[in-house]
Amino acid sequence: MPDQPSPTPQPTAGPRPARTVPHAMPIVAMVLVVVLLGAFLWLLQRNERDEEALALIKDALWVEQNLHFQLASDEDKLERLAEALGRSEVDMRQFATMARLVVNTNPAIERLLWLDAQGHATLAEPPLSDGGEAAENPTRTDAFRIARSSGLRAYGAPYRIDATDHGFDVAFPLHRDGVFVGMLVGVFSFEQMLTHHVPWWFAQRYQLEVVDAAGTVLGAKSRMAVPGSMAGPAPDPARSHVIPFDPPGHGVTLVATAYPSDSNLVRTILVAAIFALTGSALWSLWSLRRHIAGRLRAEEALRTEHAFRKAMEDSLTVGMRARDLEGRITYVNPAFCRMVGLSAAELVGCGPPMPYWLPDELERAEAAFADVLAGRAPEIGLEMRFRRANGERFDALIYEAPLIDANGRQTGWMGSVLDITERKRSEDLARQQQERLQQTSRLITMGEMASTLAHELNQPLSAIASYCTGSLNRLRSGRFDTDEVAAALEKLAAQAKRAGLVVRRIHDFVRKREPNIAPCSLAQVLEDCVGLTGADAARLGVRVELDAPADLPAVTGDRILLQQLVLNLMRNGIEAMARTPRADRRLTVTVRVEDGVMLTAIRDRGCGVTPDVADRLFSPFFTTKREGMGMGLNICRSIVEHHHGRLWFEPAVVGADGAAGGSRFLFTLPIHAHAAEAAE
């Protein structure tokens, strides 16, 4: 036999190491690295954005100057043409040729108009498609008046040239010999200006838009759509630069917007990797620190746990027994040792048969042992009889559970052993007392039913006496009809049989005997009980109503015990209506089949059950009657539970008849097996 394992050595106590600065230095250093790296990346990104913004401003100013240079060059050509028109009479064909040459060689000039002194178009190149009426528009009229009054060139406000283009007018006044003779108007296209005068390299880097004061895009040049451009939401100030385009003025501006720069994927990956590694290092340091602190706490708690476990094991009254997968005992607590009268050294290592098994029940013990090892231990526990070392026998209730180690593997079985010898003795004594109380209750009920028996027998005996006297008078008179006397004698015999049944029923009810469980008709039991309580009900003015269908299936039970159950409940209901108005005194007995059981309800219209009484209503020796014993309802519940049913009560609610108050006592009984199969 192997020796009992020695107890776990208790670790020696020691002071917890203090938290010093060197312990926190690695974490502080890693945090500083992360902060400095973040600051460096932020400065690098900021410098890149500043350089991009500076380059944008330089390029935008260059384009603006280039556009002004090209516009000034085109205006000089138009001004020389206007001077030529003002010096002498000009042939229309000659002007058309000159105008066509200017329009063809200068893409930004969409059209040339020669207006007379009243502003009407004299000649247009290319020709107007609407017969000259298009020469008169509000913006051109304003430019016409300004140039005429000032004698200098004037710029018109932007307007829509066609469905896809916007432009503006430049008006040059024509004077001949100091007299205003007309106006030369050049129509400039924003789209053509941007297309021909903005270099390709600028369009590859920026989007350039011409925008009026209302935010309308008059022209644009770009290779792709830019989020946040003037055509959509407001541009990002950090990526856009706005320059007034004057001339032509009138609130026209140039908006240059940089394209989104391609993200530096390699740098992003490197930064993410650095942060990930830094984070993992911080997490590792923190985890290591927590692990060390946890180990220190575990070592401190181990001593306390060991002492607590030892005290708990010594104070337990429940026997604890552990066995391995082969059935050998590996651990017992002091309570189990006291229970069987053997020491732990004598028990640890033992295998079947165990020294505390009874010799005459070895087969049953081995079968239970095999069920436990196979994992078939009953959850409700297993009752066994063991013996102590001195030969004394005792009853034990055993609960078995798998013994799982720290890795989740089953290493055996742990059993809890309860000594239930005294409990079983108490249960037997209580059962005997309950049976005696039931018998006493029957005798008390017989005394209470004496008046009922007298009332029940009075009627048949009176009828027997009447039929007997009438028959004797007929026979003595000598004048009688045989059939008439025979009918009277038959009625006399029926009443005598009725009186005998009443006596037999009372005798069976109060006779002490073992319960006779058999199929019986609950409807017939209820009818008999209604007849037995008829006298008491009539005396108190209570109407008894029975609602029991004739096709009810049979129930399994003892007819006499069921009669005692129903009589107690009915008599309680009748007595509860002592203070109810006489017109409302009604006791209703109903029986139905619900959910596979027979449900019986007995309802009264009495005083009801108060909440402070409800919890103790079925307790032994508790009663609300002045001369009651307090055992009626307790016996009723015992009878119902003996028949595998349930008894309870509910406060009565307002019914279809409008009656309220009182209580409903309900109990269920199982339907007889053959009756249930027939119903299915």
122-138 pLDDT, tens digit each: 888 888 765 444 445 77
- DSSP codes, 471-514: HHHHHHHS---HHHHHHHHHHHHHHHHHHHHHHHHHHHHH----
- Give the orientation angle of helix 450-477 with respect to helix 482-510, to 10 degrees: 160
What are the φ/ψ torsions at residue 349 (nearest 5 degrees)? 95, -10
Output the pLDDT for position 134. 47
Is it the case that residue 321 has pLDDT exceeding 60?
yes
In angstroms, the Cα distances linking 562 to 338, 577, 641, 669 are: 47, 23, 12, 10
- % pLDDT > 90, the chain: 1
42-101 pLDDT, tens digit each: 887 788 788 888 888 888 888 889 888 888 888 888 888 888 777 766 677 777 888 888
The average pLDDT across 589-616 equals 82
Paired strand residues for 255 = 209, 242
In angstroms, the Cα distances linking 506 to 186, 341, 514, 528, 534 are: 134, 55, 17, 11, 15
What dihedral do alpha carbons 624, 630, 633, 636 form, nearest 10°? -160
Q: What whole-number distance in Å separates Cα of residue 150 and Cα of residue 141?
A: 14
Give the burial class of 180: count Cβ atoms within 10 A of its Cβ; 0-12 exposed, 13-18 middle, 19 or more buried. middle
The average pLDDT across 614-641 equals 65
Residue 589 binned pLDDT confidence (cut-offs 50, 70, 90): very high
In angstroms, the Cα distances linking 445 to 11, 87, 451 are: 73, 149, 11
The average pLDDT across 541-549 equals 89
- The 10 Å CB-count burial string (b at 16+, else e) for 256-266 is bbbbeeeeeee
Q: What whole-number distance in Å separates Cα of residue 662 and Cα of residue 571?
A: 14
> DSSP assignment, residue 134?
G
Grouping H, G, I as helix, E, B as strand and the rest as coil, residue 35 is helix
- Give the orientation angle of helix 450-477 with respect to helix 421-448, to 10 degrees: 40
Q: What whole-number distance in Å separates Cα of residue 29 and Cα of residue 37?
A: 12
Is it the case that residue 385 has pLDDT exceeding 60?
yes
Q: What whole-number distance in Å separates Cα of residue 6 and Cα of residue 15?
A: 27
Share the mean pLDDT of the chain.
Answer: 78
The average pLDDT across 139-148 equals 83
Output the pLDDT for position 590. 92
Q: What whole-number distance in Å separates Cα of residue 37 and Cα of residue 48?
A: 17
Domains of the chain: 316-419 (3.30.450.20), 424-513 (1.10.287), 515-680 (3.30.565.10)
Lowest mean pLDDT among 336-345, 418-427, 496-505, 624-633: 624-633
The residues, any chain, with a CB within 8 Å of residue 13's CB and separated by 6 or more, are 300, 303
Output the pLDDT for position 600. 92
Better-scored residue on pLDDT, 499 or 248: 248
- Smallest CA-to-CA distance from 396 within 434, 361, 429 is with 361
Is it the case that residue 193 has pLDDT exceeding 80?
yes
Sheet holding 382-387: strands in order across?
329-332, 319-324, 410-419, 393-404, 382-387
Q: What whole-number distance in Å separates Cα of residue 227 and Cα of residue 224?
A: 10
CA atoms within 13 A on the CB side of 496: 11
Is it the case that residue 105 has pLDDT exceeding 80?
yes
Output the pLDDT for position 285. 78
- DSSP codes, 256-322: EEEPPPPP-HHHHHHHHHHHHHHHHHHHHHHHHHHHHHHHHHHHHHHHHHHHHHHHHHHH--SEEEE
Paired strand residues for 664 = 603, 650
The average pLDDT across 166-184 equals 86
List Cβ<8 Å contacts ≥24 apart for 458-461.
Answer: 460/495, 460/496, 460/498, 460/499, 460/502, 461/495, 461/499
Q: What letter represents residue 524's amino acid?
A: Q
